Amino acid sequence: MATDLFSTARERLEDAARYLDIERDIIDQLRYPKETLAATLLVRMDDGSRKAFKSWRCRYDDTRGPTKGGIRFHPAVNVDEVMTLAFWMTFKCAVVNIPFGGAKGGVSVDVKTLSRAELERLSRVYVEAFSRFIGPERDIPAPDMYTNGIVMAWMADEYGTITGHPSPAIITGKPVALGGSLGRDDATGRGGFYILRHLGEDLGVSSDKSRIVLQGFGNASFHCARLLHDDGYRIIGLSDSTSAIYDPDGMNPYAVMEHKERTGHVAGAPTHGNARQLDNAELLETECDVLIPAAVENQITEANAARIKAPVILELANGPTTPAGDAILDKKGTVVVPDILANSGGVTVSYFEWVQNKAGYYWPVEEVHSRLKAILEPETRRVWEVARDKAVSVRTAAYVHALERIGHAVEARGTKAFFNQKN
């Protein structure tokens, strides 16, 4: 069994290939990234010194189109993680048929130690270093952990300075005032909501009887929670990085968010009076109908998977379940709607942002919502059918569905079978 993150992620590729009649050269192409560039970023600090930061950008595969993926600013960022995230992006874009390949970037930095001006300089230096690697038709970055709309605005501006003209399509997740798309802010949570509702009958989940627990209460989690709440689902558990709250009678996510914005925590938020405070680990193991991990990686592992009671898990976070945890859930019959499908609403609306930037024509939010739904529902149905037809987990089915699509794109330029045909 592989131990590094990238090799572990790549096991999904071999696993999916077992269920497809696919040529070996296609798998070989996808075993390693197309290209990865490392750069040392030298940034002038406020005290006049110059500090060096390690950084990377990986374009994993561009067979289906320009590569797409976020830029992460975090002290733990390394090349193994960047390649893994780029691999996941490749499959995420393919699973929902977005005409992009996968990419990812990162800088090893603790942004909490930087002033705002230093953060701006770091963001601009990143674009300078990778200006020939990225491009509106080549590789389109976006926000990820500890990067946000203003970082994207600085990066787009820097790219425009280098090219000599504004290029909003270079990056997505921009503020709306600078060419960002309406509906991007809640797209990940909304996508998860559409997918869960679409599979409701298949999963035995419905708004009148299903209890939901969400781990995390940030962008993805809050919007998913509020849409589920508005639709009648009962939100019985929520958490942040410090604590978790549980109320079997349900809680109002808007009130919890208002409390969190005021106090910095979900703890102590208004509930129905039957609330209890739990620790984060207990929340994951709470009895509920749907568990939605929406915080960080590696939360469901071989250490706790056996104790997870939820029969359905919707992975809004990237990589919340380890392969060992996944195997335990699979054996128990837990249905896991995997990250590459469950959180694909985000990249789908990023794609819409790129389309609008290139067209110079901007859509009303209702159009963004209806187009998002029109993409996610049929692709979710297809993944569900693959899982049923091949008797595999929904995760394996999502990889099979995506790999088949990437495989068709590679085959369209010819493979061994084509070149060995006699006529």
The vertex-234 CA angle with 230 and 236, nearest 5°, equals 130
From 326, 347, 346, 344, select the one nearest 394 (Cα to Cα).
326
Indicate whether 215 belongs to the interface with ligand NAD (CB under 6 A). Answer: yes
Residues 341-400 that bind ligand NAD (CB under 6 A): 343, 346
Q: Report in angstroms how near the CB of residue 218 gets to ligand NAD at its nearest.
A: 2
Backbone φ and ψ for 215, nearest 5 degrees, come out as: -95, 125
Residues 297-326 that bind ligand NAD (CB under 6 A): 316-318
* Token pair 């037809």 in the structure block, residue: 389
Nearer to ligand NAD, 223 or 401 (CB): 223
Indicate whether 280 belongs to the interface with ligand NAD (CB under 6 A). Answer: yes
DSSP E strand boundaries for 184-256: 211-215, 234-239, 244-246
Total residues at the site for ligand NAD (CB under 6 A)? 20
Q: Report in angstroms how near the CB of residue 102 gets to ligand NAD at its nearest.
A: 13
Of 34, 68, 92, 104, the catalytic one is 104
Q: Report in angstroms how near the CB of residue 317 gets to ligand NAD at its nearest.
A: 3
Nearer to ligand NAD, 190 or 382 (CB): 190
Please give the Cα distance from 133 to 235 (Å, whole number). Answer: 44
CB burial readout 174-201, b (16+ within 10 A) else e = beeebbbbbbbbbbbbbbbbbbbbbbee
From 222, 213, 219, select the one nearest 246 (Cα to Cα).
213
Reduced to 3 states (helix: H, G, I; strand: E, B; else coil), residue 132 is: coil
Out of 278, 295, 398, 400, name the contact with ligand NAD by CB under 6 A. Answer: 295
CB-CB neighbours of 328 under 10 Å: 20
Per-residue x/- track, 131-170, ligand NAD (CB under 6 A): ----------------------------------------
Nearer to ligand NAD, 107 or 316 (CB): 316
Farthest CA pair distance, the chain: 76
From 241, 247, 300, select the one nearest 272 (Cα to Cα).
247
Q: Report in angstroms how near the CB of residue 339 gets to ligand NAD at its nearest.
A: 7
Please give the Cα distance from 405 to 5 (Å, whole number). Answer: 24
Per-residue x/- track, 221-250, ligand NAD (CB under 6 A): x-----------------xxx---------
Residues 166-195 that bind ligand NAD (CB under 6 A): 188
Q: Report in angstroms how near the CB of residue 219 gets to ligand NAD at its nearest.
A: 4
Nearer to ligand NAD, 215 or 393 (CB): 215
Any bridge partners for residue 103, and if so which? 59
Per-residue x/- track, 101-130, ligand NAD (CB under 6 A): ------------------------------
Query: Inter-axis angle of helices 79-95 and 5-17, to 10 degrees?
Result: 30
Q: Report in angstroms how near the CB of residue 345 gets to ligand NAD at its nearest.
A: 8
Q: Report in angstroms how near the CB of residue 190 gets to ligand NAD at its nearest.
A: 10
Please give the Cα distance from 85 to 102 (Å, whole number). Answer: 8
Indicate whether 296 belongs to the interface with ligand NAD (CB under 6 A). Answer: yes
Count Cα atoms within 13 angstroms, Cβ side, for 41. Answer: 28
Query: Nearest 10 degrees: CA dihedral of 167, 173, 176, 181?
Result: 90
Any bridge partners for residue 100, and if so which? none
Out of 97, 219, 356, 380, name the contact with ligand NAD by CB under 6 A. Answer: 219
Residue 209 annotated in active site: no
Nearest residue (beta carbon) to ligand NAD: 218
Please give the Cα distance from 143 to 160 (Å, whole number). Answer: 18
Residues designated as active site: 104
Question: What is the contact surface with ligand NAD in residues (CB under 6 A)?
Answer: 188, 215-221, 239-241, 280, 294-296, 316-318, 343, 346
